[in-house]
Structure 1
Amino acid sequence: MTPPWRYRLLIRALSPLLAGYTLWRALKDGGRRYWWQRLGIYSTSLTAELSPPEQDVKLWVHAASVGEVLTVLPLIREWQQHTGDKVLLTTGTPTGAAVLAKQALPDIQHQYLPIDFPGACRRFLEQLPAGRGWIVETEIWPWLYSHCERTGVALTIINGRLSSRTSKQSDGLLASSYRRALSPVRVLARSQQDVDNFIALGTPAAQVELIGNLKYTQSTDTPVDTPLIPGRYVLAASTHADEEVQLAGSWLKQAVKDELLVIVPRHPERGSAILRDLRALGAGVSQRSAGQQPASGDQIYLADTLGELQAWYSFASACFVGGSLITRGGHNMLEPARYSCPIVVGPHTGNFDDIMQLMRNSNAIDIAQSSDEAIRFLCEAAQGQARHRDMAARALQVSEDSQNVLQRYMTALS
C-alpha cells in the first residue's frame, strides 16, 4: 500500500533540499558511504565500503542517532545472548555510526538508513536479508514502512514515543500518511501517554502495548577504574547550543577554585564553535579532541569526543544534564543516577516526564530555572554536603528499582 498522495507530493517537492543536505553532511563528516547509502545505493562496484549485509543477518534495528543507539544496545546484547542473531543496525547520522563503531561489537553490522524516497527504500529492502525490524522510538517514514509491508518485513516500534508536535498530526495534513504507515506496525510504548498518542495517530489499539521506558535499562559498559583527567570536576553533560555559553558564564561569575567544569556537548562536531564561544567569554579552556589535558589555570575543559560520557559520570562530583535549559526536552537523567551522582536539570525535560516523575517523587533530582541556579547546585554538591550525598543515593535507588524493563521487552519481542 503506497503512501497517500499528499505525502508523495511533499517528498517529491522536498527532494532537492533533502539531497542537498545529504551531500553537505557527506562532505562535512559522513563520507562517501553516507552519501551513497542515504540514497539507497549499495553497489560494491562504486566502493567496497558499500558491502551489503551478511546473508545470515536475522534482525534489522534502526536507531536514528546517538541517543537511540545507546538506548537500544543493551536490548540488542540481551537478544543476541538468547538467539545468537546477527544484527544490521542502521542510523541516520554519522555520530550515531561513530558511537556504534566505538563499541566494536561482534555480529552487528552498520549501514545508513536511506532517505524516505521510494526508490531508495526499495533498494535498501532488496539487499536486506532480515525478516523483522525494530524501529527505536519515533521514526515514522511512510515510504519505508510501505516497502516493508510489501516485502514482508515485520516492523515493531520499540520504546515508542511521540512528541506533542507529531501527535497533533492525528487530524493534520499528514494524518492519512501516518495512519496508513502505522496500520500494520506493532508498537511497544514507553508510557501510557505514548500509547494514547499512537492510537490517536492511527495505530490499531490491539497493536499497541505499554512496556516501559527502555532508557531505564542499566548500561552494560565496562566499569571505568581510572579518571580521564586528574583532579576534581563537575560535569555539564549532553549540552546543546547556547547552554554551554550560559553555563560557562555562570561558572566564571562564581569564580570557583579547585574545581573544573567539564562540558560534554551532545554533538561533538560543534567543538570548534563551542571553543570559540568559551574563549570569547575569557575562559581558560582546553579541548579534549585536540589531545589536550586541562592546563594550570583552566576553568573549563571541553570534552568534545564520542563514547566517553559514562566515564565522565563515574568520577564527577555532580552533574547537569543538558537539553533542559533550552526547549530541547532534556536527556536521560538515569545515566548519572547509576553512578550515584548528584543531578540537576533545567526546566525543560518533557522528553523524560516519566523518569522525572519518579526522581522527583523520590527527591532524587534538583530542577534549576536558570544557568546560575544550575551552577550554584553544582558548586554546593561538589562540597560534599550531606543533602547532596543523600540525593545521589536516592537517585541510585531509583535507577536500581527500574531495571526489570529490559526483561519485559525481551518477553514481548520473543
Structure 2
Amino acid sequence: MRFTFLIFLMLCWKYIKCDQNGPDPWDYKITETAVDKNIDHVPPDLRIPSKRKELRVASTVNNSDWFYKRLLAILLKGGKFKKNDGGYVDVIIQMQFPEAHWSILNEYLTNNNAFSEDMFRKSIGYVQEAIIKPSVTETLVQAWTDYVHFYLVEYKMHITLFFGALGILWMSCIVWTRISHKHIFILIMVGLYLYEVFVSYKEAEQQEYDRFLSSVNTCKWYFWSSSCHVPAPDPLVFIKHMHPLKIAMRIFTLFVSEPMLAISATITTMLHGITDGLWFPLDKIVYGLLVVIMNGLLVIFLLLVLFNFILNIPFNLSFAGLLNIGFPQRWQWAGHICRRTDDRWGKRVLEWRPRLGKGSVGRPPARWGDDLRKVAGYDWMRRAKDRIQWRALGEAYVQQWTAIG
C-alpha cells in the first residue's frame, strides 16, 4: 500500500511539474517538453496551440505598446504623487534593487545585442518589484526634511542677512565694552577711508578700461596691413582718484553734505505746502522767514553733532552757549596783546576808556575788555604777562559764561 502511494506521488510530480526554469517569475523562457519533441506525431486536430508561441509571433508594434503602457503605469502609479499650486504634479519614487537584479539590468544596459521579449519583461518586472512604499516613520522624516529644505532655500537670503546682522551686533557690543568712543570713531573712519579707497580704485580702473576700449575701436584692421595704438595704463589716473584729500571730501560729503541737503530739500517742500494758500506778498515773506529759521536750526544741529560727538567739546544750545565758542579765543588774544612790546593799534584799542556821562549816538557805553576786568581785576594787563596765571583765569572766565548760558 505504501509502495503504491509512493508511485502515485511520483506520477503526480511528473505531470504537474511547472515548465518555468528557476525561481525567477519574470523568466518566460519556454522549455522543450516531451510533447513538444513528439508534436509531429500528434494529429493536427488534436494539437493544442501554444499561447506563448502565438505571443512571440505576434506583431512587434503591439508588444511595444504594451511595454510602453506598462512602463508609464509603473512611473505614474507606482510612486507618490502630489499636485502643487504651480499646475505641476510631483512624483516621488523610491526603489531598492537586489544586487543580482541590478547586475542583470546593468548588463542589459551595457550590452550591444538586440533586446528580446524576455529581456524586456525581466527589466520591467525588476523595476516594478524594486518600488518600495515607505513606512509611516520614513514618510514623516521625508516630509519634515522637504519642509525644512524648502524654507531654507526660500529664505536663504533673509537667514544670511539675519545672522550677519546678529554677528555685527555681537561684535559691536564687544567692541563697545572693551574700547573707548574715540577708538570706535577712529575705527569707523579707517573703515570708511578703506572703502572709499576701494571705490576710487574701481572708478580709476573703469576709466582706464573705457580708454582702452575707445583705443581698440579706433584701430584699423585689414588683411594686408593693420594700424592700432593702445596706450599703456596711466598711473596718474589712479593717483588722482585715490588722493587722500579727495577721499576725505567724499567722506565729509557722505556724512554731512548729503544728509543736510536731503533734509533741507524735504523741509523746503513742506514749507511750500504750508505757504501755498497765502496771498502773494505774504507767502513769499513767510516762506523766507521759515526757510531761514529751519536752516538755522539745521546749522545748530550740525554744530551740536560736530562739537559734542566728533570734537568732544561741550556745546550749549542757548544763546550764551553759542557765544561761548569764541570766548577762549578772545581770552587768549587779550593775553597775547598785553604781552606785546611794540606800539601797535591793537594795544591802544584795548586800553581805550569811554567818556564819562552821556555819550553820543553810536558810541558803545563800555568795552568788551570790561568782562576781562570782572574776572582778572583792574590789573588784568599785568596778570596777562604771566602765562600760567592767565590760563587759570581764562578757565574761570569761560565757566562764567557757561554758567550764565
- The TM-score, its normalising length taken from structure 1, stands at 0.19
Q: Which has the higher strand share?
A: 1
- The TM-score, its normalising length taken from structure 2, stands at 0.19
**For the pair shown, which has the larger CA radius of gyration, 1 or 2?**
2
Q: Which has the higher helix share?
A: 2
The structure whose RCO (Cα within 8 Å, separation 6+) is larger is 1
